[in-house]
């Protein structure tokens, strides 16, 4: 049973076949074995493909095969990533280290037999190239770009004003795209109102708009059923229901206009998608991102703001509206409250309100702040 695991060498390498150039053949078999092992874990095909591509990049960078790598090759690769016109972020580089280490552990695992194949055919045994002495340390809970933050209320206002003005500007230029721009404005307003991710938004269907019995005034826009939430590794997409809060009831009019006026003009037929394209298809996450960038440019906002910042803004503003932390956590589908806390960037005005409320509860109505 030891060598019956998916990805085992004897299941991938053909018996009694002599290769004129055995090293490339073994490399391809090795990568196919790792692909099978990861597929057996039900990892997403995109994740597996990116990892295989990374290993090929490292082979190309070093000019060596995996059984020839040493820690020096790993260090040189990470050092290379830090340079150039677009140096990689720390979290990205660590992700590369983790993926490469997972591959090396697979090669060394005796249950798969690849280390033995390398030793027999090339006289070299693979070794770990990242260790405690050269791996990137994980010192903080959050390593994202500190410039990525929630929108301020003024920025939200400017952003959506630019989004609303965009269709008219396109019409004035006499070019196509005004209808798509009106759709994009509605999409991004919904991202903010419900605190959604790009992929979650693109995969919404008409049937995912649900009524909230406690808020009948919102009609079918009272909640959104997210069926394709971000999944854990090897797990299916997470599901959650997001409630529309009264402070964002303007989203009802936005969605109503989209459903009754704008969407029919795309002639979607029986397509189930909530957000459709001019070609009667489902809008893609990439299209949502491109629309965001165009509107952000029109509004002359910080270029570090991205689509995900709208989700950060929803978390922050729900918190400032006074909703309990657990409610906010459930709204965005976080397994841990600490993740939601990272998203939150409340204003000084809100913090001062909390400070004043705390002082009043402790000192009564007769306290005074020292000038």
> Contact 113/26 with Cβ under 8 angstroms?
no
Whether 301 contacts 159, CB under 8 Å: yes
149, 263, 296, 311: which is the annotated catalytic residue?
311
CA–CA dist 109, 128 (Å, integer): 12
Closest CA to 118 of 222, 14, 9: 9
Q: Is 142 an active-site residue?
A: no
User: Among positive and negative, which fits the CA dihedral 281, 189, 92, 39?
Assistant: negative
* Set 189, 197, 203, 282: catalytic member: 197
Q: Can you tell me the distance from the alpha carbon of 229 to that of 191, in angstroms, rounded to the nearest whole number?
A: 13
Neighbours of 201 (CB within 10 A): 24
Q: Which of 112, 27, 18 is nearest to 69 (CA)?
A: 27
| 239 has catalytic annotation | no
131: helix, coil or strand? coil
User: Is-catalytic flag, 334?
Assistant: yes
Catalytic-residue membership of 197:
yes
Distance CA 194, CA 248 (A): 9
Of 195, 156, 161, nearest to 340 (Cα)?
Answer: 195
Tell me if 110 sits within 8 A of 72, measured CB to CB. no
Site of tokens 């037929």? 269
CB 333 within 8 A of CB 240: yes
Residue in 227, 240, 271, 308 annotated catalytic: 308
184 close to 285: Cβ distance less than 8 angstroms: no
The alpha carbon of residue 195 and the mean position of all alpha carbons in its chain are separated, in whole angstroms, by 13
Whether the CB-CB separation of 285 and 187 falls below 8 Å is answered with no
* Active-site residue, from 189, 282, 312, 334: 334
Is 19 noted as a catalytic residue in this protein? no
Q: For residue 226, what are the CA distances in angstroms to 158, 206, 326? A: 28, 12, 18
Tell me the two tokens of residue 112.
């798969």
Of the candidates 96, 192, 194, 343, the residue annotated as catalytic is 343
Question: What torsion do the CA atoms of 302, 305, 311, 316 make, to the nearest 10 degrees?
Answer: -40
Catalytic residue, candidates 230, 265, 286, 304: 230
The answer to whether residue 96 is catalytic is no
Active site residues: 197, 230, 308, 311, 334, 343
């Amino acid at each position: 049973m030891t060598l019956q695991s998916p990805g085992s060498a004897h299941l991938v390498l053909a018996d009694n076949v002599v290769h004129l150039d055995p090293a490339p053949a073994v490399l391809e078999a090795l990568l196919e074995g790792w692909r099978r092992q990861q597929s057996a874990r039900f990892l997403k095909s995109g994740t597996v493909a990116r990892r295989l591509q990374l290993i090929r990049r490292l082979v190309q960078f070093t000019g060596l095969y995996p059984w020839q790598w040493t820690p020096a090759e790993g260090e040189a690769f990470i050092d290379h990533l830090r340079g150039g016109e677009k140096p990689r972020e720390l979290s990205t580089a660590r992700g590369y280290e983790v993926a490469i280490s997972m591959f090396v552990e697979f090669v060394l695992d005796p249950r798969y037999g690849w280390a033995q194949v390398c030793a027999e055919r090339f006289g070299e045994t693979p070794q770990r190239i990242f260790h405690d002495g050269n791996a990137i340390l994980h010192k903080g809970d959050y390593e994202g770009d500190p410039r990525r933050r929630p929108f301020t209320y003024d920025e939200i206002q400017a952003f959506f004003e630019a989004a609303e003005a965009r269709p008219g500007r396109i019409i004035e230029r006499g070019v196509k795209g005004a209808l798509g721009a009106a759709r994009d404005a509605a999409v991004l307003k919904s991202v903010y109102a419900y605190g959604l991710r790009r992929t979650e938004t693109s995969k919404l269907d008409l049937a995912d708009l649900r009524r909230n019995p406690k808020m009948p005034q919102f009609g079918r826009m009272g909640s959104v059923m997210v069926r394709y939430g971000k999944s854990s590794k090897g797990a299916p997409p997470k599901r959650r229901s997001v409630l529309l809060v009264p402070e964002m009831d303007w989203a009802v009019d936005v969605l109503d206009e989209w459903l009754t006026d704008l969407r029919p003009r795309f002639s979607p037929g029986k397509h189930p998608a909530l957000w459709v394209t001019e070609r009667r298809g489902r809008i893609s996450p990439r299209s949502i991102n491109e629309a965001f960038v165009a509107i952000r440019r029109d509004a002359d906002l910080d270029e570090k703001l991205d689509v995900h910042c709208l989700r950060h803004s929803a978390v922050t503003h729900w918190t400032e509206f006074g909703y309990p932390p657990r409610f906010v956590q459930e709204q965005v589908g976080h397994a841990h409250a600490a993740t939601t806390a990272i998203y939150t960037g409340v204003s000084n005005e809100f913090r001062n309100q909390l400070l004043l409320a705390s002082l009043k509860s402790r000192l009564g109505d007769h306290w005074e702040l020292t000038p």
